[in-house]
Structure 1
Amino acid sequence: MAILVLKRLVFSTTKRKPLSPLSFASSSSSSSSDPSETLISTVVSVLTQQRSKSRWNHLHSLYPNGFHPNEFSQITLQLKNNPRLALRFFLWTQHKSLCNHNLLTYSTIVHILARARHKVQAQALIRTAIRVSEEDDLVSKPLKVFESLVKTYTLCGSAPFVFDLLVNACLETKKIDPAIEIVRMLRSRGISPKVRTLNSLISWVSRCRGGDVSYQVYREIFGVDIEDAEGNANRISRVRPDVHTFNAIMMGFYRNASVEKLEMTFNEMVHFDCVPNVHSYSLLMAAFCDEGRMRDAEDVWHNMRAEEVEADIVCYNEMIGGLCEIGEMEKAEEFFREMGLNGVDGSCTTYKHLVCGYCGVGDVDSALLVYKDMCRKSFKPDAWTVDAVIRALCVHGRVDEALKILKGGVENFGLVPKGNSYEALIKGLCEEQRTQEAVKLQVEMVGRGFEPSLKVYGAFIDGYIRQGNEEMAELLRKEMLETQIQEQEI
């Protein structure tokens, strides 16, 4: 105990000379009389040889003033074969405020965790390092972390994917520009992140900045040059793009409704000997369906099946939805039956397409059958689907059935009806001279925040005329006119 007290007195009264951030290698050969060197060896000895319950209090009593960042990094470096202990030491000094941690200390512990494949903890510390960086510029913060990781990489015996963790940490915090710049700097050093990391970068760019920018980034980070005279794309990157790379770009073009560029990317994927997967085909089919190019969509479908790629629910829904949109219900039903035979369960979207498709072609009975089947299978119809059924029924004079659909949607599914649904029902009731019921429905309509429209006024005026109540019809005409004048003034 006397020796420990003596050491504590020595280190509390002696000014320690901090190690240089890059002096790890040479420090081991320095004189053992160096206070910092003695501190380092003592701490390492306590951490590795004492029991876990006593070591922390012991260290705190020995060094109540804590450690210089350079000393911490040297201590941690000597614990690199015990990454869990190194991380505990870091967290302990952080919790007890025993070290003013900077980019050097963060880089050291991150490298140690990375070389031990503790990716989750390493990436979490990278995110913290970016946040606590002294740089004011948000773009510069990740670049300073990158610079620090590069300087300490060899000395810590780190693993290359530590830079993948840095790029992913940037993307998690939506720092896209620094992520792109880091990849550029890595490639300038002959290093390329893993294809999965590059795909994440392209996906984020595609999502936030569109297909055109993501395509430009793809060509740069994968080293795809302009095609030569023979039409061969030169690739100078050691990492090849895969199907997920192209899917991310295609998704960007799909969001931008750039069908030609999406198709171009699909063909480029084939040019790179990447085999399209079901997501690739579904994106291309969706783009064609959105433009009503169902013949092109069907060609893609047949090519997909010829390549023995199994269609999923997304593919089926795209084809069924596209066919329903143009009124080809027989073909849509064929896809629906095939889907069931192949063991692919329909979704709420599947039934919505079919219901709206049948309503669109005026086949109300088929629409009702599909709608009831949808409800029986516990799929919750949305307001658009219910509105389609209600309006189709009202057009065919089946108002009572339409009222049941509205009531069922509200009571069973908590549905908030659309204003169009109320307008169709009020019009149908007035045509049957059921104006009192129409008034009650109109009160409900106003209670849900829908103001009477010109269609509603017109329906009531027509209804009262049918009943021979010209006085009420005239009052409504005046009210409708006053409402129009007020709206114009607003």
Structure 2
Amino acid sequence: MAAAAAARSVGGRLGDSRISLLRFYPSPVRRRSPLLPRAPPNLLPVLPTAHASSPASLFHLLHRARHHPRLAALDLHILLAAADASSAFRPDHSLTSLVVAHLAASHRLPSLQRLLELVLTRPCPYADDSIFACPELLPTFRKSIVAFATSGNIPSASHALASLRRVADSPLPAEFYNIILQALSRLHRHDDAIRFYGEMTSVYRVAPDVHTFNIFFSSSCRVEGVDAAMRWFGEMQRRSCAPTVVSFNTLMCGFIREGRYKEGTKVAREMLELGVGLSVASMEILIGGLCCGSKALEAAELFVEFLGDGVVLEGFDCFELVEALCRGGKVDRVVEAVDMVLERNTKCCLSAPTGATVLECLMEAGKLDEVYRLMWRMIDQGIVLDTISCNCIFEALCEAGRTADANQLRVLAKEKGFEADGETYCMLVQGFGRQGKRKEGKAVLDEMLDLGFIPNIASYNRLLGGLHK
């Protein structure tokens, strides 16, 4: 009896310790036996009634559950359960906007359509004190229309627009129709877009805006040609709608795509005459199009002309022009354009890669004097090349017996943020050694030693011996 009691006490202690250990080291999941009781039913229907007695409390619940791995996809179900639990439950605009944003971001379009039906059947409670509809109704429907149109579901987008048109207090602005027009244009349904435009202007009496015509400019240039886009330009003037930079850029791009470079250039000049001005995109379309069409010289003349007139905006990089001129062997025109950029101190047009391309072209042509002069001016204005490009130029100067010039460029570039590597100092020391300039080479060698670019005494002695040979 005593032994049995002892065994039971030991077993109880072992059992207690096992239970306590399982709290920290859970066992692997086992297949549930059919004799074991099933898990309790899902408590989701109880959740809205327990925690969402009002739209504000349901809003906080869904806002906190938006990152939950299980509840994030059940936001609409929770909202519908709360609506089914009480016929007096009416979601306000903040709750509706939150759920619409979640459904649109996750591309749950059927759920989004079901939510819009709930919004129409149970209007916002804030609209009871006024004869007008909720002012937040338009942004909510706009998110939905954008989600439908972006996914290519044009019928659902049109249905949502028609529903909004019935409940809105005033005619809808053109931006709601532009969403569907943009989607039709992106789907290459140009004829459907024209028919929708006819309904928009004649049936619903909506005045198109400049974005409407920009859509048709792009679509017409792609489908019918730039001449068809010019007819839309006439329609735009008939409706007293002023074109923007985007309108002119689209026409200019259409002309250049068809190889009509003179007419594309004429559009750019008209932009200047009308006071619209050339944007960075305008310069990229015009200069880039001319360069791709083997019109690099005409592009260089236009660039120099626009740069002289001061109409080139900050942010435009003439890399494509420089590359086209170098590829065609027009080194003198490259130097002329770069000199003008540096003279006007418009370094925004000349980036470090562009400068490296120019100097590489000059080195291939054997014009080291121009390389030294232009690189000095670039560094002086803060255009510092990368280490590899600088090393190539320094090496070319050292091999030509101009190690002192290479060292001067290195010192000037160091003041502007250039970081030389061990290869830079090594070629300068060797260059001074070949020219017999021991003092200058020893100064560079000592600087190289101070910066930690010499790994051991043997490397130092080898470089020092090269200076004394």
Corresponding residue number in structure 1 for 2:330: 363
Give the gaps of 5 or more residues in structure 1.
1-63, 77-82, 115-120, 225-233, 417-428, 430-490
Corresponding residue number in structure 2 for 1:345: 313
Aligned 8 A contact 1:355 1:389 in 2: no
Aligned 8 A contact 1:285 1:300 in 2: yes
Q: Distance in 1 between matches of 2:224 and 2:367?
A: 39
Displacement of 1:354 in angstroms is 3.9
The aligned length equals: 321
How does the TM-score come out when normalised to structure 1? 0.49
Displacement of 1:246 in angstroms is 1.9
Displacement of 1:205 in angstroms is 5.0
Aligned 8 A contact 2:165 2:172 in 1: no
Change (3 A) 1:72 1:93: farther
Residue type of the alignment partner of 1:151: T
Displacement of 1:101 in angstroms is 0.9
RMSD: 5.2
Corresponding residue number in structure 1 for 2:245: 278
Displacement of 1:336 in angstroms is 2.1
Aligned 8 A contact 2:181 2:196 in 1: no
Secondary structure (helix, strand or coil) at the match of 1:250 reads helix
1:171 maps onto 2:142 in alignment: no
Q: Counterparts in 2 of 1:6-405, with a 5 A limit? A: 69=48, 75-76=54-55, 87-88=59-60, 91=63, 101-103=78-80, 105=82, 112-113=92-93, 122-129=96-103, 139-153=109-123, 157=127, 159=134, 162-169=137-144, 171=146, 175-178=150-153, 181-187=156-162, 190-191=165-166, 193-206=172-185, 208-209=186-187, 212-213=188-189, 216-217=192-193, 219-220=195-196, 223-224=199-200, 235-252=202-219, 258-322=225-289, 325-326=294-295, 327-328=297-298, 329-338=300-309, 340=310, 342=311, 344-349=312-317, 351-356=318-323, 358-359=325-326, 362-368=329-335, 370-371=337-338, 373=341, 377=347, 379-380=350-351, 382=353, 390=360, 394=364, 396=365, 398=367
Aligned 8 A contact 2:249 2:281 in 1: yes
Which one has a bigger Cα radius of gyration?
A: 2
How does the TM-score come out when normalised to structure 2? 0.51
Change (3 A) 1:168 1:286: same
Displacement of 1:284 in angstroms is 1.0
Residue type of the alignment partner of 1:196: E
Q: Distance in 2 between matches of 1:314 and 1:336?
A: 15
Q: Distance in 1 between matches of 2:121 and 2:194?
A: 28
Q: Greater CA deviation, 96-105 or 268-277? A: 96-105
Change (3 A) 1:205 1:352: farther
Change (3 A) 1:382 1:145: farther
Displacement of 1:390 in angstroms is 4.3
Corresponding residue number in structure 2 for 1:480: none
Displacement of 1:164 in angstroms is 4.1
Change (3 A) 1:276 1:161: farther
Residue type of the alignment partner of 1:337: G
Secondary structure (helix, strand or coil) at the match of 1:183 reads helix
